[in-house]
Each structure stands twice: as C-alpha cells, then as structure tokens.
Amino acid sequence: MIDRQHPHDLFMELSASYSHPLGGGFDGFLYAGLPGEPAFGPPAFMPRQAAMDSPEAPISHHWFDSTRITFGVVTAGVSRDRWKLETSAFRGREPDQNRYDIETGRLDSVSARASWNPTPNWALQASWARINSPEALEPDDNEARTSLSALYARPLGDEGSLSATLAWARKDRIPGDALQAWLAEGAIRPNPHWTIFPRAEQVEQDELAGHHGGASTVRKLSVGAIYEIPLSATVKLGFGGLVSAFDAPASLGYDEPTSTMAFVRLKIG
C-alpha cells in the first residue's frame, strides 16, 4: 500500500479518571475508557513531543502503541513523588474497520507499567502486556509485549526546544516468533518557526513475505522539517517535507528504497 495511512476511529478516547490521596505522600487513581488507553508503552507517536511534527507514522508503531485506542479499559494505580505504578485490564481485540462505532467485549487482556521521572527533563518507563486475540483474522493467536523507553525534553535558547525519544519493544507471538523493534527520534526547534525531526528505526517483521513467513529485519532513517507561519494567536500554517531511506532484505524484492513527502499543515490551538 503506497501513500496511504489507515484512519483511526472517530472516537479515539471517551474516558473518566479519579484520583485520591492515600496518605504518606501516595495517591491512588482509577481510569476507565470506552475507548481508552491501557498502561503500556511510552506516549503514542501522535502526541509525543519528539514525533508530533512528523506526518508519518513510525514503522515500529505496532510494537509500542497499537493499543492506544482500546474499546474497553480499566486502569488502577498508585503514584508517589516521581514514581507511578499502574495495571490495566482491557479488551485485546484491535478496533474493526467501522471507524464510527463503539465496540464492546470482555476485558480479556492485562498490562502493567512502572514510570519514573528522575528530573523534570526525563521520563522513563518499563511495561508489559498480555494481549488476547488482537487480530480478527487470527483469532487464536495471542501476544505478549515488553517495552522500555526514555523521553527527554528541555528548552533551547530563549524560544526553542529540544526533545528526544529512545525506545525498545519486543512482541512475542503466541504461538510464533519473538519480534523486536527499536526507535530513536528527535525534534529540534531552534525558534518558533522551524522544527527539524530526524528518526531512525529497526523492526523485525514476519508479515512481509507471505502469511507469517520468516522474520525480516527492516531499517528506516528519515529526516524532515517544517516551517510555520502564524496566522493569528492560535492558528499556524506550516509547510514541510520529509525524506526517508530504507534498508530491507534483497529477498523482498526491494532495491534500496527511498521515499519523499511534501505536506501542508494547519495547526489550531
């Protein structure tokens, strides 16, 4: 499939949360969503500071945050100072192709995540999930996932900012192979107009040469930039471009593929 990214559901999150002090510096919290986001992985790429200016989804997306839109999730956790521990029960099946409905089902999957913010600039997390029957076309297959990530952000000069993400994840098919992915990305904003966003990724994928054939390692390196023009206090018009290079096995029939993209963005808010 070329030049197309599948849409997300219209309702990406309908949720409620409640927190209450427990004493001794601890806070407890509850979260429920239909749809919502279980406690797994780093922030999804759309709102992640180092990724939000790129119009292109990472090829490692389904290792880190494919559970972001889950129709049925309940999370409980506790936090203290810079630590947070949380666990979720959620529906493992990914959303269907009807992008406008609300789906229901049993909360048949579980996850747990530990988060630590050692300084105001750093956010670290480790998480694990056991996902029941995520794919409708393979209802008897389950997955176990593990992820580690480190996010960094700080001001750059008087009006700029610098942010970065380093992440690793492993997807264990049950039954099947163990597939790993890693991601390194950044966003450099030297001033309010320009943002430069590089990204490097590697994934092990077994769906490129037939139905769950042997795993292939695919690497991708991309660099993009956007220039924004303020139209008002809350509206910006941006013009950007992105160049990507891939490294894929010759057995897949690719000869050092590359891609380019030009885009226009209207940002409100």
Task: Give me the pLDDT at residue 211, please.
Answer: 55
- 3-state SS track over 8-35: CCCCCCCEEEEEEEEECCEEEEEEEECC
Checking if the pLDDT of 29 tops 50, the result is: yes
pLDDT tens column, 243-269: 999 998 877 777 778 999 999 999 998
Checking if the pLDDT of 68 tops 90, the result is: no
Task: Indicate the average pLDDT of the chain.
Answer: 92
- DSSP structure string for 215-249: -EEEEEEEEEEEEEEESSSSEEEEEEEEEEEEE--
Task: Give me the pLDDT at residue 1, please.
Answer: 46
- Sorted by where each starts, the structural domains of the chain and their CATH numbers stand as 15-268 (2.40.160.10)
The pTM for the full model equals 0.90
pLDDT tens column, 173-228: 998 889 999 999 999 999 999 999 999 999 998 877 665 567 889 999 999 999 99
